[in-house]
Structure 1
Amino acid sequence: MKNKTRATWLAFFGGPLGLHRFYLYGFADMPAWLLPIPTALGLYGVERVQQLGQDDTLSWLLIPLLGFTIAGCALNAIIYGLTPIEKWNAKFNPQADALATPGQTHWGTVIGIAIALLIGTAVLMSSLAFSFQRYFEYQIEAARLISQ
């Protein structure tokens, strides 16, 4: 029986590592195995910024991968938490009754949705702001070099 509250929290906390997909679909799920790749690339971008500074072009391309992955997993957590009980049980617990308890929404689910919305939005906006700022600074620098 796949629990909706557990899936919501796994998507939020362990989503960038694919834990929610392993929980819901098993170890044969290819997206679950692919999710750690953009996460690792984004973490590599963060490490490059710490070592080389903010002027590193590769880092401002890699860091948004981490942010978009976290934001996407937060969106999955919201979708899982807001799925009606009948649809949840039909998709993930087909052998159970349509109103079985694993598909019910509890306070833990609601709190998980709220935190995923808060953190996911902040991470998405931060990733967009960081990447656009770096992109426009790069463009201004390139324009200066051309004009000289």
Structure 2
Amino acid sequence: MKSKTLATWLAFLGGTFGLHRFYLHGARDWLGWLLPIPTLVGAYGVLRMATLGTNDGLSWVLVPVLGFTFAGCCLTAIVYGLRKPHEWNARWNPGADPEAPAGQTRWATIWAVALALMVGTAVLMASIAISFQGYFEHQVEEGRRISQ
């Protein structure tokens, strides 16, 4: 039996490493194995930004990759948490009763959805802000270089 609450929390907390995919699809899920790649690329961007500062051009390209990956996993958590119990059980617990406890929405599910919505939105907005700021600063620098 695949628990909707556990899948929601795994998508929110460990989604960037594919934990929810491994829980639902098993260890052979290729998308689950691909999810850590943009996470590590974005983490490298965060490390570069911390050591080289915000003027590093590669950092403002790589940091949003982590943010967009995390925001996508938060969206996945929201979708999992808001799925109706009979739909969840039909998809992930096909032999079970449509109203089986594994697909029920509990308070822990609601908290996971609420946190995924709040944190995911904040990370998405920060990622957009960082990428736009870096892009426009780069454009200003190129304009200055061309005008000289």
Alignment of 1:16-95 (within 5 A): 16-95=16-95
Matching residue's letter, 2:35: L
Q: Which runs of 5+ in 2 are unaligned?
A: none
Aligned equivalent of 1:117: 117
In structure 2, distance between residues paired with 1:13 and 1:135: 30
In structure 2, distance between residues paired with 1:55 and 1:115: 32
Aligned equivalent of 1:13: 13
Matching residue's letter, 2:47: E
In structure 2, distance between residues paired with 1:145 and 1:19: 46
Count residues with an aligned counterpart. Answer: 148
CA offsets 1:82-117 (integer angstroms, 9 cap, x no match): 001111001000011111000000000001100000
Provide the aligned C-alpha RMSD in A: 0.5
Give the TM-score, by structure 2 length: 0.99
CA offsets 1:112-134 (integer angstroms, 9 cap, x no match): 10000000000000000010001
Report % sequence identity: 61
In structure 2, distance between residues paired with 1:50 and 1:124: 19
Matching residue's letter, 2:61: L
In structure 2, distance between residues paired with 1:133 and 1:78: 28
